[in-house]
Each structure stands twice: as structure tokens, then as C-alpha cells.
């Protein structure tokens, strides 16, 4: 769609506003893998409800926006079980070992000119592009 970039920019600014509220309000870096991961492995249970409240907002808001937005939403998610399991495992392991993902290292890191954030972003984009190129254009699997 020709208006995709406008929605991208508006949605992006909304994401950034969320990060700003989380930082200036609670004094924390808004990283999805960190907030969720801390709940999964128990390392973040000392701030349990803060994390739960954040995730409730993340999961419920699209449901509220859906009828207002009034556009057919298709996630085009792959249905290949092995691809889903492999991808999920890699994303889970990788984001915890690197201590951040697209929101923490990407959005919050780059905006403060953090070297760690920039290096992480360069590597996950290169790895993502290369993996997609191999699996789509060489092997034809995805």
C-alpha cells in the first residue's frame, strides 16, 4: 500500500512515545525481550506487576484499535511448524544472550547513540538479511 510508510512513521512515533513514558516515568529501558524474559526465567519477579501491566497494554491495545483501524489484518505468519519452532528458539536464546532485541537495543539504544545498541542492531539485521536470503532465495524454504 502507498500509505504504508505514513502508518509506519505514525506507529513508530507511538512506539517511541511508549519508550519515553517508560524511561521518564519508571526509569527503565523499554525492551520487549527483557520485560518478557524476566517474567519467564524469574529474574524479573521483583518487578513482576510492572512487567505484567506493560504486557497487558501490549497485548490488549491491538484488540481495541482493531475496530477503529478498520483494515484487514493478516500477519502472513508461516505455518511451517519447524520454521516456527526454530525461529522462536533462536529469537528467545539470542535476545537473552545479547540482552536486548529490536526495541531495547534498536529503538532505545540507537536513540542514545549507545555503541552496544548500534553494534547489536547491525549484527541482527545482517544475520536476518543473510538468513532470509539463504532460506528464501537459495533453498526456497520460506
Partner 1 sequence: MRLILSLIAGSLFGGGLFISGMTDTTKVQGWLDVFGNWDPTLAFVMGGAVIPMFFAWRLTRGRQPLVGGEFPTTRPELDHRLVTGSVLFGMGWGLAGLCPGPALASLTYNGWAGVLFLAAMSAGMLISAPVGTQLDRLAAKA
Interaction of residue 48 with partner 1, rule CB under 8 A: no
Site for partner 1 in 115-134 (CB under 8 A): 115-116, 119-121, 123-133
Give percent helix, percent strand, percent coil of the chain, each to the nearest 5: 75, 0, 25
d(CA 134, CA 25): 43
d(CA 125, CA 127): 5
Report in angstroms how near the CB of residue 45 gets to partner 1 at its nearest. Answer: 14
Interaction of residue 65 with partner 1, rule CB under 8 A: yes
Site for partner 1 in 72-101 (CB under 8 A): 73-79, 81, 83-99, 101
One residue of 2, 102, 139, 140 binding partner 1 per CB under 8 A: 102
- Smaller CB separation from partner 1, 45 or 78: 78
d(CA 111, CA 88): 27
Amino acid at each position: 500500500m502507498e500509505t504504508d510508510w505514513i502508518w509506519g512513521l505514525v506507529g513508530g512515533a507511538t512506539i517511541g512515545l511508549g519508550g519515553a513514558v517508560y524511561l521518564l516515568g519508571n526509569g527503565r529501558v523499554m525492551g520487549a525481550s527483557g520485560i518478557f524474559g524476566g517474567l519467564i526465567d524469574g529474574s524479573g519477579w521483583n518487578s513482576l506487576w510492572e512487567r505484567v501491566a506493560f504486557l497487558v497494554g501490549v497485548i490488549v491495545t491491538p484488540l481495541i484499535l482493531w475496530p477503529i483501524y478498520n483494515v484487514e489484518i493478516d500477519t502472513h505468519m508461516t505455518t511451517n511448524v519447524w520454521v516456527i519452532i526454530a525461529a522462536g528458539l533462536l529469537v528467545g536464546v539470542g535476545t537473552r544472550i545479547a540482552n536486548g532485541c529490536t526495541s531495547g537495543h534498536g529503538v532505545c539504544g540507537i536513540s542514545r547513540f549507545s555503541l552496544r545498541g548500534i553494534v547489536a542492531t547491525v549484527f541482527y539485521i545482517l544475520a536476518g538479511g543473510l538468513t532470509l536470503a539463504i532460506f528464501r532465495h537459495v533453498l526456497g524454504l520460506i
